[in-house]
Amino acid sequence: MATITRFEDIQAWQKARELTRSVYQATNRPAFRLDWPLRDQIRRAAVSVMSNIAEGFERGGDREFIQFLSIAKGSTGEIRAQLYVAYDAGYLAQQDFQTLQDAALGTGSLIGGFMKYLLVSRKGGVKFK
């Protein structure tokens, strides 16, 4: 039985933090920075992933946590869609686009796996403090 005492210990949150950092770095480049609506939207989506994992954890119950994880996972899809817009607009090179896509996919996959784990172990698997 695993005990998670802080949201910072959750691997999906750690990956979401890395993704957010990468999104901020990419959107700080001159061409991207000038498209403030897209820049702000993709940044908000990245922050949403981290924030929803943290908020769901702090609420203390599996059912509600799973709902927040679902929202966080949805935000990874939003990031991926916005990356296509940025790539098509010429704000990202192919390699940068692919690296960010892979990070968003990996983060979403971790969140999805964690959701499945919580659903299977609802009868005593993960304890929150």
pTM score of the predicted model: 0.90
| 60-110 confidence digits (pLDDT tens) | 788 899 999 999 999 999 999 999 999 999 999 999 999 999 999 999 999
Q: Which CATH superfamily does the domain covering 2-122 fall into? A: 23S rRNA-intervening sequence (1.20.1440.60)
38: tokens are: 């897209």
Nearest Cα to 41, choosing from 7, 98, 84, 5?
A: 84
**What are the residue ranges spanned by the domains of the chain?**
2-122
| 24-50 confidence digits (pLDDT tens) | 999 999 989 999 999 999 999 999 999
**pLDDT at residue 129, as a whole number:** 42
Is the pLDDT reported for residue 122 higher than 90? no
Mean pLDDT of the 105-117 span: 96
Per the listing, tokens 């005990």 go with: 3
**pLDDT at residue 91, as a whole number:** 97
